[in-house]
Chain A
Amino acid sequence: MFNLAKKNKKYIMKNLLSENGMGIIEIIVVVAIILSAFVAILQLTFLERRAQIIAREDIEAYMLARESLEATRSIRDDSWANLSSLTYDIPYYVVINTNVWEITATDPGPVNGYDRWVEVSQVFRDANDDITTSGGVSDPDTLEVTSYVEWTTAGGNTRQVDMKTYLTNWQEYR
């Protein structure tokens, strides 16, 4: 019994003494965990900020893309030949010349920091007169117009958006 008490004393004192070092390590670990949690929350805030900046740039870009499609519609309304005479699937640019939209192969440069262009593609129709992407017969009175807008984001990456529409030679049939 006496020996047991002596052993207990040694054991307890040893543990108590060794807890001096452990206390600091535990605190450091706890602090590191807390700091990691704060950093994670901060990262979320940065992510939200980045998402908003991308959303804002996307809206500006989509408005320009929409402008290009509407401009192409205006050019089509001037004369179908303005579009049907173009080479398929190469970049063209819409510009205002004395208050009239024109389409040109010369790049006028970026608009508010955004590069934009349009490409005109052939449209094919199947036996049911539906537009098809494989096979079919070329429809000379329908064109697919794709408007592209490309820019360098605040983060330094290149980003591109596009919008498509079909334009028809409706004046031929009115």
Chain B
Amino acid sequence: MTKFKSKIENRKLKADLKQYNEAGFTLMEFVVYTALLGLILVFLFNFLLGIIGHQGKGKIREAVISNTTHVANTIDYEIRRAHQIYDSTSQFDVASGQLSLDTRNSVPNGESSTYVDIYLNSENQVCIRRESDGVVCLTTDNVNVTQLQFKKITLSDSSESGIQTNLTVEYNTNDPDQKLPMNIQTFTRLRNE
């Protein structure tokens, strides 16, 4: 008898549970869940947009910094190792300048000295032209060099001292917010090697 009652109670319990499970969400729960889901989706969307934007700008900054540093260090290296400045083909104090150096660095076979030109080409890239190696561009396609200005500095007796370089590099894009220009000013004393 007791066993029978127990079975009846269990069936009632199962019936109650079934009824509870079939009740589903209340309207309030549905509204709250939907609102939360909406908030998460809006936040996630903005978050992803922000991350993508930052990653893009990060790559731009990296390109501008690495190109600027590479050009500045190469110019510094060439001037330090130059024997003298070659005035005839150099263009000083203009935004798109050219520096010609008489150097004993990377001299062709049978020669005691050679010439090297550092200049801005028509595609706004800084290039170096060496008698022995031809033309090599120092900057990549994704940046524009908007200023490569050389100033010849002398000692008080008018002998050559060195070259002051002004360099401006920006990202190659039409969007002004993405150009992120970087300006370097430096001076290198000739070592007359």
Which residues of A come within 8 Å of B, CB atoms?
1-2, 5-6, 8-9, 12-13, 16, 20, 23-24, 27-28, 31, 34-35, 38, 41-42, 45-46, 48-49, 52-53, 55-56, 59-60, 63-64, 66-67, 70-71, 73-74, 77-79, 96, 99-101, 111-112
Contact A35-B156, Cβ < 8 Å, known A56-B65, A74-B162? no
- B113 CB-CB contact with A under 8 Å: no
Chain B residues bordering chain A, tally (CB within 8 A): 52
A53's nearest neighbour on chain B, judged by CB, is: B61
In the complex, A100→B159 CA distance in Å?
Answer: 10
Q: With A9-B16, A45-B54, A101-B161 known to touch, is A63 a contact of B155 (CB < 8 Å)?
A: no
**CB of A117 to closest CB in B, whole Å:** 16
CB pair B182 A31 closer than 8 Å: no
**Residues on B close to A: CB < 8 A?**
2-3, 5-6, 9-10, 12-13, 16-17, 20, 29, 32-33, 36, 39-40, 43-44, 47, 50-51, 54-55, 57-58, 61-62, 64-65, 68-69, 72, 76, 151-157, 161-162, 164, 182-189
Decide if the interface of chain B is mainly helix, strand, loop or mixed.
helix
**Is B51's CB under 8 angstroms from A41's CB?**
yes
A38 touching B58, Cβ below 8 Å: no
How long is the Cα–Cα vector from A148 to B71 in the complex, in angstroms? 23
Nearest Cβ in chain A — how far from B185, in angstroms? Answer: 6
